[in-house]
Amino acid sequence: MSDTAQPSFKDKMMKILGKFSGSRFVRAIMGAGYSIIAFSIIGSMFLVLTVLTQVITAKGFVDFYNNTFGRFNNIYTVIYNATMGIIAIYFAGSFAYNYADIYRKEENLLLDPLNAVFLTLMGLFITVPQLVWKGGNTVFVNILKKDNVIAGGYGVSGSGLTRIGATGIFTGLIVAWLTVQIYRFCIKHNWRIKMPASVPSGVANSFTALIPGFVIAIVIALIDVILIVLGTDIFQLLFIPFSFVSNIANTWWGVLIIFFLIHFLWWFGIHGATIISSFYQAIVLSNMAANASGAHYVFAGEFSNAFVIMGGSGATLGMALWMAFASRSKQLRELGKLEAVPAVFNINEPLLFGLPIVYNVRLFVPFLLAPMTCSMVAYAAIATHLVPKIIVQQPWPIPVGLGGMMATASWQGAVLALVNAVVAFLIWYPFIKHYDNELLKKEQAGAEKA
């Protein structure tokens, strides 16, 4: 009989998920996600200005706004279109930069991340025009209808080119991945023009990208042509899996599964939000952009930070405040004092690893149940129009309540966030109270021995 202990299910899962979360692809996606936060917030703030009179409907304010700031509504829309309207470009470019930079450092390749960005944008724009196979030729689509304008193959709307907005994020991601892989392959196999050492690095880098650029253009164009002959194109083909996943994420049970997985992984010490959001980030951005244009999606923007994880993962705001002011054990009280302020800004690592919640069987149930319940309360409130849809990407550390108000541009959003904070605390209370009693007994026993 072997003395070697077999790895537990927990160890196996941590190894698999740890490897996935540390993969180059996921790290590049997360880097891209972080880098476009500023653009989405800027666009959202200017979008708020265009809908301000729908939030504050007092006649005096509406008249004042229309005669002052409201005169520039079209400028606010231009700024929104310059951010969210072309968000696929920002996302794809940032992903390509991060992805190429990771390969450059870890494989010691002569990859220029900036070249990867430009090559990706070239590849992305090859997929933007809409063409059809007609009479043995590729022909640009031209449709001039009120609700469908395509001129010279380029679909346009009030937000600009239709394929480089939020709906193009998934296509941009795949094109960026393919571009960097081709670029990497060419450099790795020395398919590049080498310049003398005396040539300035900027000039040398541009020639280094020449052959990879030709290969990328030919490969992407060839794939697109084959698909066009078959009656579709790259964008439409890639939109199928994106649409499929979107349809799942836009159901109540899909949202429930998402928050279950996030917190199930977190309990094992794995950053569940990082892993799971890499799958749904494109969806919530797309949904938020669609909401701004008149659609009604529940799972959009910062749905999680606005209405679900008040106080951080596990929705621990109420619990942190109770620990600080009402717990009897010294350990919980001191930890609560430390966590009370960060919790208001949705930060709770001190609780996750200091309480701890991670690997703590006593707190497993509320850690999963509280955010899942909050997600369903929020879903129902927005789906039934009790609370307006999310149209704004608020900064995630924004204080609880204010984040909900900003996300929906309504006072109802603030109320929903506060209601969920109470709901989450009611779920947490019996568990944390029992845990407090256990710790108090241990502390008293320790004091008696001392």
Q: Are residues 205 and 100 in the same domain?
A: yes
Dihedral sign, CA of 82, 85, 89, 92? positive
d(CA 320, CA 1): 49
Q: Are residues 134 and 273 in the same domain?
A: no
Q: Are residues 168 and 221 in the same domain?
A: yes
- What would the mean pLDDT of 403-431 be, rounded to a whole number? 95
Q: Are residues 104 and 174 in the same domain?
A: yes
Does residue 14 belong to any structural domain of this protein?
no
pLDDT digits (tens, 9 = 90+) for 277-314: 877 888 898 899 888 888 899 999 999 999 999 999 99
User: The whole model's pTM is what?
Assistant: 0.78
Q: Which of 194, 217, 244 is the last residue of a domain?
A: 244
pLDDT of residue 199: 66
pLDDT digits (tens, 9 = 90+) for 432-446: 999 999 999 988 887
Q: Which residue type does 315 have?
A: A
pLDDT of residue 6: 65
pLDDT of residue 5: 59
- What would the mean pLDDT of 319-348 be, rounded to a whole number? 91
pLDDT of residue 1: 44
Does residue 216 belong to any structural domain of this protein?
yes
Q: Are residues 209 and 264 in the same domain?
A: no
Does residue 328 belong to any structural domain of this protein?
yes
- Which residue segment(s) compose the domain that 155 sits in? 23-244
Q: Are residues 285 and 182 in the same domain?
A: no
Q: Are residues 317 and 428 in the same domain?
A: yes
Q: Which of 244, 269, 287 is the last residue of a domain?
A: 244
Count the domains in the chain.
Answer: 2
Contacts for 224 with CB less than 8 Å, ≥ 6 apart: 126, 127, 131, 233, 234
Q: Are residues 338 and 362 in the same domain?
A: yes
Q: Which of 229, 244, 259 is the last residue of a domain?
A: 244
117 pLDDT more than 90: yes
CA-nearest of 194, 212, 18, 267 to 96 is: 212
Does residue 427 belong to any structural domain of this protein?
yes
pLDDT of residue 41: 83
Q: Are residues 161 and 125 in the same domain?
A: yes
Q: Are residues 49 and 184 in the same domain?
A: yes
| Other beta carbons within 10 Å of 218 | 11
Question: Residue 256: exposed, middle, or buried by beta-carbon count in 10 A (0-12, 13-18, 19+)?
Answer: middle
Q: What is the mean pLDDT of the chain?
A: 88
- What would the mean pLDDT of 117-122 be, rounded to a whole number? 96
Q: Are residues 390 and 286 in the same domain?
A: yes
Does residue 72 belong to any structural domain of this protein?
yes
Contacts for 77 with CB less than 8 Å, ≥ 6 apart: 46, 50, 158
Q: Are residues 407 and 258 in the same domain?
A: yes
pLDDT digits (tens, 9 = 90+) for 165-220: 878 888 999 999 999 999 999 999 888 777 676 667 666 667 788 899 999 999 99
- What would the mean pLDDT of 52-63 be, rounded to a whole number? 83
Percent of the chain with pLDDT over 70: 93
